[in-house]
Amino acid sequence: MEPTPTPSVTPPLSLERLASRRLSDRIFYLLCLGIACSSVAILVLLLVAIGYQGASSLTPTFLSSSHDPENPDAAGMYPALVGSLILCLLCALVALPVGVGSAIFLEEFRPRGRALRWVHGFVQLNIANLAGVPSVVYGLLGLTVFVYMFQWFGKLEQNSISGLDLWGVERYYQFLALDERSAIFIPIENPAEPTFQFSESLAGLDGQLRPIQVQAWEPGQRRPLSAEALARTVRVGEIGGVVEIHRWYYFRLPFGPSLLAGSLTLALVILPIIVIASQEALRAVPNSLREAAAGMGATRWQMTQQVTLPAALPGILTGGILAMGRAIGEAAPIFVVLGGNIGKRTGPEHLLDSCVTMPILIFSWADHPVERYRQLAAAAIIVLVVLLLLMNATAIFIRGRR
């Protein structure tokens, strides 16, 4: 009978080694605590500096007025606030379904064939690489694909009609009335003529696009006396130029520097982030749930729809909200696609209308030589930070509730 081997016993640590380990743990803990506190201190210092510069400018007028290049005290960020919110809403409507659907396909419907597995790995690798591409590169991509569409539908030029208008546009000749404060519109009969010389009374529209009878007046005749008659009378020989009136459902190709082009570009920026976050949420679902669903005879789609996706939904929503937080603060792709014009007085009126965003407005104000505009830039930063904190708080709330 062989003797039972005696198990090895680890000798106890000496007091000196135990004290050394505890000291090392303490030093590492204090080092991590110092790094965390320094990060929080930098953030607090930044918020205090911004609050000191811009808190006095946060007034109801600031949130309800537009940029004023002549009177900085009356300037506001309403068009930029509305433009950023609508831009991010359209971006979410495009990026979230595509990103979540891509993640479900890559994670839950993995191919079994060798060639398809290679394609799957290639796509997965490129998605990870796209998450690190600078956003200005996406801006150049959006400029080529969405704004110009490779010039397939005509070259975009300033103050010219080009491209393919599909619906929602009306063209008129615009004339100046005798009172010099009212505009009169005459429907175009021949779109090929860029100008039109007024010669006789015609049916037209006033400045509010209401039907009126436009009267002709020749120099030397008696001018109308009433303000109403002056507002619908045009001098004979007056040259009218072509103007376009766009309805809320206006659509054309290419998109041009528009709200739709900017939202699609931002969707490209955050799409890899949504895909990766959604994949991580799907991987966190226990395999036992999948095995139980398969044991009950569920198909792959039934398993994904009724078991996996509901369990991963909190993580998916959290990743989507954090991705939208990045989108609302992006400036480089929007600057490339939409330009740096901040003079728009209202929010976007249709999908192909131009818009102003908060990052572009902040960039323009911060670079302005007038000190008052730099204070307004700090106030706009406060509003942007508050929106980001609200979005992050929403993500934390969703994660905590589920």
Q: Is residue 31 part of a domain?
A: no
Please tell me the predicted confidence (pLDDT) of residue 2. 56
Contact criterion met (CB below 8 Å) for 384 and 359: yes
Same domain, yes or no: 239 and 264: no
CATH number of the domain to which 79 belongs: 1.10.3720.10
Domain boundary among 196, 219, 252: 252
Domain boundary among 252, 278, 305: 252
Euclidean distance between CA atoms 52 and 112, whole angstroms: 60
Euclidean distance between CA atoms 97 and 51, whole angstroms: 37
How many residues does this entry show for the chain? 402
Euclidean distance between CA atoms 314 and 364, whole angstroms: 38
Which DSSP letter does residue 88 get? Answer: H
Please tell me the predicted confidence (pLDDT) of residue 11. 60
Q: Which of 253, 241, 142, 238 is nearest to 193 (CA)?
A: 241
Which DSSP letter does residue 206 get? Answer: -
Please tell me the predicted confidence (pLDDT) of residue 31. 93
Same domain, yes or no: 353 and 238: no
Euclidean distance between CA atoms 141 and 128, whole angstroms: 18
Please tell me the predicted confidence (pLDDT) of residue 142. 94
Cis, bond preceding 333 (omega within 30 deg of 0) = no
Euclidean distance between CA atoms 385 and 299, whole angstroms: 45
Same domain, yes or no: 104 and 200: no
pLDDT in tens, 270-309: 999 999 999 999 999 998 988 898 888 888 889 999 999 9
Amino acid type, 324: M
pLDDT at residue 6 tops 70: no
Please tell me the predicted confidence (pLDDT) of residue 270. 94
Q: Which residues lie closer than 8 Å to 108 by C-beta, 6 or more apart?
A: 282, 300, 303, 304, 308
Please tell me the predicted confidence (pLDDT) of residue 162. 66
363 compared with 5, residue with greater pLDDT: 363
Average of pLDDT values for 380-384?
92
Same domain, yes or no: 265 and 142: yes
Same domain, yes or no: 271 and 382: yes
And the tokens for 268?
A: 């490209």
